[in-house]
Amino acid sequence: MIKPRPTDNRFSDRSVSHAMDQPAGMADTLELPEFERFVFVMSVLERHSFQESALLLGCTCGDVIAARTRALERIATKVGCPAQT
């Protein structure tokens, strides 16, 4: 997938068995839906700004912020961090 788009999909199409072959942190990242995975890598790992990420992905800054938030929440849930309210 070269140009991921935000969707309402809540689950990744990656199989859990494939993700289990990866190191722990990598498995959590690979299990993210495509758009959230791209946003996570770009905004967190590569440190692109929300604006840069939105421009590169062809979406709005709001889409990037929402996807990053969902990605971080999913990863935090996987590693057992409690949700903050």
pLDDT in tens, 27-45: 778 889 999 999 999 999 9
Q: What is the total count of domains within the chain?
A: 1
Q: Does residue 68 belong to any structural domain of this protein?
A: yes
pTM recorded for the entire structure: 0.67
Query: At 56, which CATH number?
Result: 1.10.10.10
* 64 located within any domain: yes
Which residue, among 1, 75, 80, has the nearest Cα to 31 in the 3D structure? 75
d(Cα 15, Cα 17) in Å, to the nearest integer?
A: 5
Q: Using one digit for the tens of pLDDT, what is the confidence trace for 50-72?
A: 999 999 999 999 999 999 999 99
**In terms of residue numbers, what domain contains 59?**
31-79
Tokens of 76: 């935090």
